[in-house]
Every structure is written in structure tokens, then in C-alpha cells.
Amino acid sequence: MRVVEAFRGAYAAEPATVWRAPGRVNLIGEHTDYNDGFVLPFAVPWGVTAALSPRTDGTIRLMSLQSPGDPAVISSWDGAKGWTRYVVGVLAMLGSRTQGADIVIDGDLPAGAGLSSSAALEVVIGSALNAVYGLGLTPMEIALLGQKAENDFVGMPCGIMDQAASALCEDGKALFLDCRSLGFRNIPLDLAAHGMRILIIDTGVHHELADGQYAKRRADCESAARRLGVAALRDVTDLAGALSVLRGDERKRVQHVVTENHRVEAVIGLLRAGAVAEIGALLNASHLSLRDEYEVSSPELDVAVEAAVRGGARGARMTGGGFGGSAIALVAEERVPAVRESVQAAYAERGWKEPRFLPATPARGAHEVAL
């Protein structure tokens, strides 16, 4: 294995453990996690692999096959820059429960596609440290550790969805997670049995400002919840009543979050009934709500979604935080070429770079890789 060879080359020793953690797409339940709501992501077949050994002196040595060069030697938390913050953040959150590590990572997640490479990195490191230091953490505790690293160390106020998907997903299943209780169920998502596919459309575009906008959406939700006298928007049971007392951005955000939680529950009901193709309409409704009420879409995402549906997709929506990244389309197998052509043509017409198409099958969450 490439990562093991690189580990031997860098540190002249065998790694104590090798772990892999995947990225994710979210089927539905967008911008609901930090509102104590429901999400339904699944892990993708791409992710991050880490070879790791414990140390005894508190130092971290770290290299990535995606950024060649000698290992970075990090002896204080402040020494972390760029992508290394996601790794060092996890160690920092564990404090004196570890004494450092030698690490090599290798990733095959398409860069910048919005498939949660940062969460995959946090979860793979948390899982490997848990194994070598015998920390006794559950997969959910590893997800929470990754989220804490991202919130408190990296400074991105994300919810729990991405890390939970990376830590807890199972092959062939989506993860239905209640972001308040952290109760979850792995829901079978056998698309092939229904003659369907989920196509990821990576727009190749990531708009700057995304992080500031994310924090702003979160703040809108929190102030709306305070005004409505509820702990979180999850608790809004009378939508019409809530909308009648809110104005402007807060009103729009609440409209999205409350209806999106209902859409997740409706999708679960349809999946249970075996009506996979019927979830398409809910994906479309989710996209419109994210575009018009939550205002986190982008022209590239809108064009991809519209062209996919025009080409015969049963439904499509942006996935993840927004402002670029990827959309997903639910497509009957025989319509896949037509959907691709429709999206390609729409991009070509506008002089945009061709998007990338990736077939997504629900994959397994974090696991140890046999050496």
C-alpha cells in the first residue's frame, strides 16, 4: 500500500495502524444539523487513508502524498498551517491523552468538490489515535472530536453531519441522524435494485466568502430561534405562526429549516416504502428552498440542477454547505447519458468549464485497513 511505503520511507519504521475514512454527500437535510434537526448523508467511495504510529515526546510529524516534501515537524499547536490544522486540531483537542504521532496521509477525494475532505481527515486521525492510544472512543465520540477540532481549532462553526457520516456510515446505507439526540439509524439505500443512480456533479467552482456566509446563516438561525423563544429551529412546530412574527432574512431561514426537516422525514418514509424514485420531487424542493430561502446556492449549482432535471433526472439538488461544490442528481440508469449531456451542454453554452460526473454508491464509514 502506497501510504505504508511512504511511511517506511519517511520514518524508517512500520506504522502501528492504518485507517481510512470517507467523504460524504448529503442526500437531504441541508443546513439543518446546527439547528438540532435531521440529516441523511451517505459516505462516498473516496476518502483519506492515514498510516500512524504513536510517539512519546508530544511531537507530531506529518506528511501527505498530495503535497510532496519532507514531513512537517510540529512541536507546538500554533505551528499548524493550511490542511495540517485539521490533523493538529484533533491532537490539540485530545491534549495530554496522546503524546504525539508520526503520520502519513493519502487521499483520493476530488479536491474542492465539497465532499468533506476536512471531516474525512479529522475522522481518520481521530480513529487512528483512538486505536493506538486505546482511548476507548465510540465512532460518534470520534465524530464529535473532529467537529470540536474544526469549530475550536480551525475556526469553522460547522455542525456534526460531515464527521458523523464519515465515522458512522455503512456500506449500501444512508445515515439518518437526529442532530439533537445524536440517535441514528443506517437506512438501506439500494439504488441499483431500483434501477437508479445518484450522480455527483462537481461544478469545479468554489466561491470565496463561503465560510463567512456559513457563519452568517448560523447566526440568522440562532437569532430567529431566540426571537421565537425556542432552543433551536428544530422546535418550531407552528411554521405559519413563526413566519408571521419574523421578517427579512430570519423569516427565510426559518422557512427553509422547518420545511427541510419535514422533507428529510418524508424521504425516510418513501425509502422505507421502497419508493426510491419518488424522493426526486423532495430533492427538487430542497434545492429551491436552499436557492431562494436559504440563499446558499450558486449559478453553477442552479444550472447543473436545472439541466439535470431537464435531461430526465428524477430530482436534483445542491449538496453540502453551498456556494459551489457539488450537486447530486437521482437518475434512472438508462437516463444517465442524457442527463450528463444536458448538463454538459448547459455549461458549454455559458462558456463554463465542463463539470465532473462521479457515480456515488453509499460506502463504508471509517475502518481499520489490514496491513
* Residues near ligand GLA (CB under 6 A): 30-31, 33-34, 158-159, 161-162, 320-321
Pick the closer one to ligand GLA by CB: 118 or 342.
Answer: 118
Pick the closer one to ligand GLA by CB: 159 or 311.
Answer: 159
Q: How far apart are CA 108 and CA 23, in angstroms?
A: 10
Q: CB of 290: closest distance to ligand GLA in angstroms?
A: 9
Are 90 and 128 in contact by the 8 Å Cβ rule? The answer is: no
Q: CB of 307: closest distance to ligand GLA in angstroms?
A: 23
Please enumerate in sequence order all residues whose Cβ is within 8 A of that of 144, keeping only pairs 6 or more positions apart, or say none: 160, 163
DSSP 144: H
Q: CB of 172: closest distance to ligand GLA in angstroms?
A: 23
Are 27 and 42 in contact by the 8 Å Cβ rule? The answer is: yes
Q: CB of 350: closest distance to ligand GLA in angstroms?
A: 26
- Active-site residue, selected from the candidate residues 33, 102, 162, 202: 162
Q: CB of 231: closest distance to ligand GLA in angstroms?
A: 18
Angle at 296 between CA 226 and CA 280, to 5 degrees: 105
**First vs last C-alpha separation in the chain:** 8
Segment (H or E) for 227: helix 210-228
Are 4 and 105 in contact by the 8 Å Cβ rule? The answer is: no
Nearest by Cα to 62 from 98, 96, 106? 106
Amino acid at 191: L
Are 47 and 23 in contact by the 8 Å Cβ rule? The answer is: yes
Q: How far apart are CA 49 and CA 7, in angstroms?
A: 12
Segment (H or E) for 72: strand 67-74
User: Does the annotation count 36 as an active-site position?
Assistant: no
Pick the closer one to ligand GLA by CB: 64 or 147.
Answer: 147
Pick the closer one to ligand GLA by CB: 126 or 159.
Answer: 159
Pick the closer one to ligand GLA by CB: 158 or 313.
Answer: 158
Q: Annotated catalytic sites, by residue?
A: 162
